[in-house]
Amino acid sequence: MPVPEGPLVIGVDSSTQSTKVLVVDAADGSVVARGQAPHTVTPGRGADPEQWWRALTDAVGQCGPVVGRAAAVSVAGQQHGLVTLDGSGRPVRDALLWNDTRSAPQRDRLVGELGGAQAWAERVGSVPGPAFTVTKWAWLRENEPASAAATRAVRLPHDYLTGRLTGQEARGGTTDRGDASGTGWWSTATGEYDHGVLAHVGLDPELLPRVVPPGEPAGTVRPGLPLPAGIPVAAGTGDNMAGALGLGLVPGRPVLSLGTSGTVYAVSTRRPADPTGVVAGFADAGHAFLPLACTLNCTLAVDRFAALLGLDREAAEPGGEAVVLPFLDGERTPDLPGATGLVHGLRHATTGGQVLQAAYDGAVFALLRALGQVLDGDGNGGDPAVPIVLIGGGARGTAWRETVRRLSGRPVLVPRARELVAPGAAAQAAGLLLGRDPAAVARDWGTSDGPAYEAVARDDAALARIAAALSDADALLRRS
């Protein structure tokens, strides 16, 4: 193992499925040690927050004795989850996670009761979806009133773990503006909790954590943990915000993430407030904003088409006029929750590879349309000369990359780094320790370095064909 040139910091990524821990040299970003431990999600219940803590300590333990030299730590976690604690800091029930949509009826009611989508966008920055924490709290009060009544602290997943590190589980807890902006009760307009929203859903603001300003610590590591006692703990943030830090993003550089679902986002100096609900108007982990849009159908949907056709996922072929709308799980962007997948424009000469390429096209079309809304009016964000940063599992696939290039007409950059959330948390810890902007630290580390691909001519004919098919099928999709 090379001798570290600078102080060591720890970045934690607590996701839905596992906790990953990196020990990083703050001088150059090199990873000195790593660990990982799994989580379990119980269908219909959620996840026990205490298992997140056990996973964190297990993953830290896997990093070995080098952990004893760490000088700062930060936790990034899955957004939106509702963690309810009793007076001693123990979970009242399993946490309701971001992908738990049972609060959709409460979401619909809340949007209507507080003035509609436009009012919500102007008020807090986003039109809340069922993922948002405010809808989950409304569901809990309605369906499990005893659990709501027993709650003495409400936290997000990263807040809970930060509190366990500092010993502020139930009292004096902290969060950051990035993760708080995904709750639906913190306003990007005022930078404060919205007491009107809290009153409407019956949540006492005293149960919420203090929002730590960027660059300030949440506390220090308490004694008795497998980490050095007394080292500073950064505020932490949500996973999307940490991913942006991990890339060292600057305003105007768009990101397209190709995973099971697809996500597009960019750092912006302008406060987003999209009344359509397509763009979530998040704050970032610093002083700016992180407008973000998400589609449900991405790599998993295209892989399903490949399997149905008996083809390898890279066996896409150019040509043909087939259009595939791969809405196999309904869709979030566009807002078609009951939609099913559609195939249109088949001919005798259409090949399976062309149908597969049409599935890629349909998925990328939805992402690029959402990206257009993310970047709308954001200065040089819409500049076609600015590369799209392509991340996620799909970014390693030639067919995905080439489809993004062809349908966007923009250059593409594929960072070599496969993990960005834990490095983003490590950059936040290093920024706190060094008194620097964490994104600038990540840029010095070269986290976004990787192969660049020049722009190709945009395939306007394919874009028009997909848009027309989507418009023609709209009524059918909404009946599905």
Measured CA to CA, the distance from residue 316 to residue 400 in angstroms comes to 10
Measured CA to CA, the distance from residue 93 to residue 99 in angstroms comes to 17
Residue 370: strand, helix, or coil: helix
Point out the catalytic residue in the list 179, 194, 239, 378. Answer: 239
Tokens found for residue 58:
């297990």
Measured CA to CA, the distance from residue 213 to residue 211 in angstroms comes to 6
Measured CA to CA, the distance from residue 282 to residue 288 in angstroms comes to 9
Measured CA to CA, the distance from residue 89 to residue 92 in angstroms comes to 9
Q: Are 169 and 207 in contact (CB under 8 A)?
A: no
Sign of CA dihedral 66, 68, 73, 76: positive
Measured CA to CA, the distance from residue 308 to residue 329 in angstroms comes to 16
Q: Which residues have a Cβ under 8 Å from the Cβ of 429 and sit 6 or more positions away?
A: 9, 10, 11, 26, 72, 73, 74, 232, 234
Measured CA to CA, the distance from residue 461 to residue 347 in angstroms comes to 18
- Per DSSP bridges, beta strands 31-38 and 323-325 are unpaired
Query: Which neighbouring-strand residues pair with 70?
Result: 8
Please calculate the CA angle 235-237-239 and round it to the nearest 5 degrees: 155
CA within 13 Å, CB half, 65: 1
227 secondary structure, DSSP code? S
Measured CA to CA, the distance from residue 470 to residue 465 in angstroms comes to 9
What Cα–Cα distance (Å) separates residue 126 from each residue in 161, 180, 276, 305?
A: 26, 12, 9, 33
Say which amino acid occupies 232.
Answer: P
CA dihedral 119, 121, 125, 127 (to 10 degrees): 110
Orientation of helix 239-247 relative to helix 421-434, angle to 10°: 70
239 is a catalytic site residue = yes
Sign of CA dihedral 132, 178, 47, 392: positive
Query: Which neighbouring-strand residues pair with 265?
Result: 255, 292
Catalytically active residues, by annotation? 239
